[in-house]
Amino acid sequence: MIEKSTAQFLTEHPGMKYIFFGGKGGVGKTVMAGAAALWFAEQGKKTLLASTNPVHSLSSMLGQDVFGRHSPVQGTTNLFAYEIDTKDTIEKSKKEIREKIEWFLKFADIKTKADEFVESATMNPAFEESAMFENMIDLMFEDKYDVYVFDTAPTANARRLLGMSDVYSMWVNKMVQSREEAMSLKDLLSYSKKKQQKDPLMDYLLNLRTRMGNAKELLCDDEKTSFFFVTLPEALPIAVIKRFINWFEEFGIPVGGVIVNMLIDKSSVGPDAPAFVKNRVAMQDDYMDEIWRTFSDVRAIVPLFDTEVQSVAMLKRTADSLFSAPATTG
């Protein structure tokens, strides 16, 4: 049975500020994130619902365009939504990289153009995730809202995104060491007695290291941050959580719990229901048994509704289930 509901969990963590929803594609992460954001907004907290998924769904769910800008959500108060413009983020990152490389080449007195270095850096498969991570932590550091709710990409992508602070930190530490060695050698070989110039590259690296340290501190703060896994009572979504939940815990990202979505209400299935529906209910029963056995922190059971969740009204219905008192037994 549910020992601690979503509402009870959040009541015990009154400082919770950064909420992430993730899971296998198609399990309802966007809907759960939207319902949670609406719930926080209705508690009087200025809330931002943001999508870090390159394939955005917020605009379709809300019935309004929220792409590329913070938009007040129609039909409620205190709630804003934002689909991060990955193309804009990438172009800004390319521009920043170009400026930093040109700056370094000039400082190091290297007579070559920055273009090939920029191309090499931005063709890396992780570049888009890196740019998205930068945008995400910019939002967190700006601190303009009481609560931030993130609709993430499918779990493997979310794992890489949230793990970027470690990747950055390892890279920066190596770069700082290399830069210190290079500057030391330059001083040894220099005939000039001039006072050493300020090193803009080293300043950048040290600032980036501090920034990544602050990002990881926020992501790993169990009083401010929680990652909720969303699943269906089906084999593949359950397997995805089993595979990745330990990584999140080992990395230090606090796991808030598991949300089960789209459970068929057995009381609505009469004796004359089609065999397909009865078989589906039996299948869900089997997987619910597995969920109860496997996860000790199930926070909510959200039913399969009779209509799609594509409005604030339907998000309200979802939030009522997501934050209801525990009443489901296993």
Identify the helix (H) or strand (E) that includes residue 153.
none
pLDDT the model gives residue 2:
93
CA-CA-CA-CA dihedral for 42, 45, 46, 49, to nearest 10: -70
Tokens of 14: 């009154």
Contact 52, 153 (CB under 8 A): yes
Neighbours of 20 (CB within 10 A): 27
Rounded Cα–Cα distance for residues 256 and 20 (Å) = 9
pTM: 0.84
Structural domains of the chain sorted by starting position, each given as residue range(s) with its CATH number in brackets: 6-88+136-164+222-322 (3.40.50.300), 89-128+168-213 (no CATH)
pLDDT range class, residue 328, cuts 50, 70, 90: very low
Q: Is the dihedral of CA 241, 246, 247, 248 positive or negative?
A: positive
Burial class of residue 194, CB neighbours in 10 A (0-12, 13-18, 19+)? exposed
Angle in degrees, 0-180, between the axes of helices 29-42 and 312-322, rounded to the nearest 10: 90
pLDDT range class, residue 329, cuts 50, 70, 90: very low
Residue 232 — φ and ψ, nearest 5°? Answer: -105, 160
pLDDT range class, residue 330, cuts 50, 70, 90: very low
39-48, 89-98, 160-169, 271-280: the lowest-pLDDT one: 160-169
Contact 212, 168 (CB under 8 A): yes
CA-CA-CA-CA dihedral for 3, 324, 254, 69, to nearest 10: 170
Rounded Cα–Cα distance for residues 170 and 81 (Å) = 33
Rounded Cα–Cα distance for residues 99 and 114 (Å) = 9
- Residue keyed to tokens 């609505």: 268
User: pLDDT digits over 269-316, tens only?
Assistant: 999 999 999 999 999 999 999 999 999 999 999 999 999 999 999 999
Strand partners, 229: 22, 258
Give the Å distances, CA to CA, from 239 to 52, 244, 290, 294, 295.
Answer: 23, 9, 11, 10, 12
pLDDT the model gives residue 192:
52
Q: Quick one: average pLDDT of 306-330? A: 86
